[in-house]
């Protein structure tokens, strides 16, 4: 069986070893040492960090977007083997 291509960009969950700046709001958001952050990795290997406020919103939006697509395609999206 062919490998299923992921539609999502590369995501990693990392624990900050030192303070990181949140890419979505560089002025007021940050990830302090020891906190979890969501890291997106582009095709060139460039990484962007997002704090817990932002990644919660981003994941919810992604979930909603996927649910919308599933509804339009008429699939419930439950995994079938
Ligand atoms: Zn943020």
Q: In angstroms, what is the span from residue 63 Cα to ligand 1's centroid?
A: 18
Higher pLDDT, 2 or 59: 59
Count of structural domains, the chain = 1
**β-bridge mates for residue 39, sequence order:** 12, 49
Q: In angstroms, what is the span from residue 10 Cα to ligand 1's centroid?
A: 18
Distance (Å, whole) CA 81 – CA 79: 7
pLDDT for residue 74 = 94
In a domain, 78, yes or no: no
In a domain, 63, yes or no: yes
Give the angle subtended at the CA of 4 by the CAs of 64 and 77, to the nearest 5°: 35
Q: The whole model's pTM is what?
A: 0.81
In a domain, 1, yes or no: no
Q: Which residues span the domain enclosing 46?
A: 10-73
Q: In angstroms, what is the span from residue 15 Cα to ligand 1's centroid?
A: 15
Evaluate if residue 79 carries a pLDDT over 70. Answer: no
pLDDT for residue 44 = 92
């Amino acid at each position: 069986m062919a490998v299923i291509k992921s539609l999502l960009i590369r995501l990693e969950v990392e624990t900050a070893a030192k303070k990181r700046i949140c890419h979505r709001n560089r002025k007021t958001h940050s990830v302090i040492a020891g906190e979890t952050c969501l890291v997106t990795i582009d095709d060139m290997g460039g990484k962007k960090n997002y704090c817990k406020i932002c990644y919660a919103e981003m994941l919810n939006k992604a979930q909603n977007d996927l649910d919308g697509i599933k509804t339009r395609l008429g699939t419930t999206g439950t995994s079938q083997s």
